[in-house]
């Protein structure tokens, strides 16, 4: 790969720029950031990577030659730049998978990928086992259930406040049981994992979601339970936050880096 585009120069974007520059010193890197943040972001990224990362505010402004765009700018960035990336001939790796719970946006991106013969890539992100889930799907799956558990105050500022009194929670409390479509819509900040599981498995409507406030939660924990003809799976994660953004799991940045690296490795696992 000669030229990569990173959309969103935040915690994950900055991490990718630094790691990719260290791994592939000759890789050309462009970034898209919100226009008002470009001067500060340019300096920060250039300090990070010691290289001339160039920042732009739209796909139209990015020089030719990009092979892969990596969205790590949030749901609005998928809406704003996703289709333009595919139309420009880039494959598109999407971190903000929860944006794809919007069926109209998903359909638009799939249509753009098909007409440009490009690929929309969905990383496992902050969850794991998506290879097994997507493989099990080929034989049919009976049930997928996703349980999210966080400390009560970690749900502050979200729709959870309307469903339970977080300050009064003293033991594990399930405050919502729904499907992945509704979970992703009501909880955009927490939608990425539910949406990834839905896309890898049985879709948004059939993926059961349980959201819990738990004073005993060990960080941000995810449990995925799968039952089907090929057997059952139980995938449990307790994620540590990203140093630069406590709302993002470290695993999410690593997962994106792995997908990018795999594109140029002789052996892909």
Ligand X SMILES: NC(=O)c1ccc[n+]([C@@H]2O[C@H](COP(=O)([O-])OP(=O)(O)OC[C@H]3O[C@@H](n4cnc5c(N)ncnc54)[C@H](O)[C@@H]3O)[C@@H](O)[C@H]2O)c1
Catalytically active residues, by annotation = 222
Per CB under 6 A, 32 contacts ligand X: yes
Q: Are 6 and 13 in contact (CB under 8 A)?
A: yes
Per CB under 6 A, 10 contacts ligand X: yes
Chain centroid to CA 159: how far?
20
Give the contacts of 5 (CB within 8 A, at least 6 positions apart): 29, 30, 31, 32, 59, 62, 66, 68, 69, 70, 85, 90
Q: Given the DSSP bridges, would you call strands 220-228 and 173-179 parallel, antiparallel or unpaired?
A: unpaired
Q: Among residue numbers 208 through 237, which ones bind ligand X (CB under 6 A)?
A: none
Q: Among residue numbers 171 through 190, which ones bind ligand X (CB under 6 A)?
A: none
Q: Are 45 and 53 in contact (CB under 8 A)?
A: yes
Distance, CA of 240 to CA of 250 (rounded, Å): 6
Task: Give φ, ψ of 40 to 5 degrees.
Answer: -65, -45
Per CB under 6 A, 80 contacts ligand X: yes
- For ligand X, the binding residue among 6, 12, 49, 86 (CB under 6 A) is 12
Per CB under 6 A, 252 contacts ligand X: yes
Cβ atoms within 10 Å of 165's Cβ, excluding its own: 11
- For ligand X, the binding residue among 133, 193, 202, 226 (CB under 6 A) is 193
- For ligand X, the binding residue among 5, 11, 120, 224 (CB under 6 A) is 11
- For ligand X, the binding residue among 7, 85, 93, 209 (CB under 6 A) is 7
- Minimum CB separation of residue 212 from ligand X in Å reads 18
Q: Using CB under 6 A as the criterion, what x/- string covers residues 57-76 for binding ligand X? A: ---------------xxxxx
Interface residues with ligand X (CB under 6 A) are 7-13, 32-34, 37, 72-77, 80, 95-97, 125-126, 192-193, 196, 242, 245, 248-249, 252
């Amino acid at each position: 790969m000669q030229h990569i585009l990173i959309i969103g120069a935040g915690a994950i974007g900055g991490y990718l720029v630094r790691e990719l520059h260290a791994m592939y010193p000759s890789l050309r890197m462009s970034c898209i950031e919100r226009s008002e943040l470009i001067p500060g972001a340019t300096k920060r990224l250039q300090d990070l990577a010691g290289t001339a990362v160039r920042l732009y505010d739209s796909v139209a402004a990015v020089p030719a030659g990009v092979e892969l765009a990596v969205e790590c700018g949030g749901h609005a960035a998928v809406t704003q730049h996703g289709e333009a990336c595919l139309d420009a001939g880039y494959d598109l790796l999407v971190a903000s998978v929860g944006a794809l719970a919007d069926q109209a946006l998903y359909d638009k991106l799939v249509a753009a990928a098909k007409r440009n013969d490009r690929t929309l890539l969905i990383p496992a992100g902050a969850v794991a086992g998506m290879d097994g889930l997507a493989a099990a799907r080929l034989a049919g799956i009976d049930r997928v259930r996703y349980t999210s558990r966080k400390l009560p105050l970690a749900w502050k500022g979200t729709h959870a406040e309307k469903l339970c009194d977080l300050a009064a929670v003293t033991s594990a409390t399930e405050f919502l049981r729904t499907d992945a479509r509704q979970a992703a819509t009501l909880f955009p900040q927490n939608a990425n994992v539910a949406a990834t599981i839905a896309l890898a498995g049985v879709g948004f409507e059939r993926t059961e979601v349980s959201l819990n406030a738990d004073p005993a939660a060990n960080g941000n924990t995810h449990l995925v339970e799968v039952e089907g003809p090929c057997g059952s799976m139980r995938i449990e994660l307790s994620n540590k936050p990203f140093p630069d953004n406590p709302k993002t799991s470290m695993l999410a940045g690593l997962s994106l880096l792995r997908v990018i690296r795999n594109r140029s490795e002789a052996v892909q696992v």
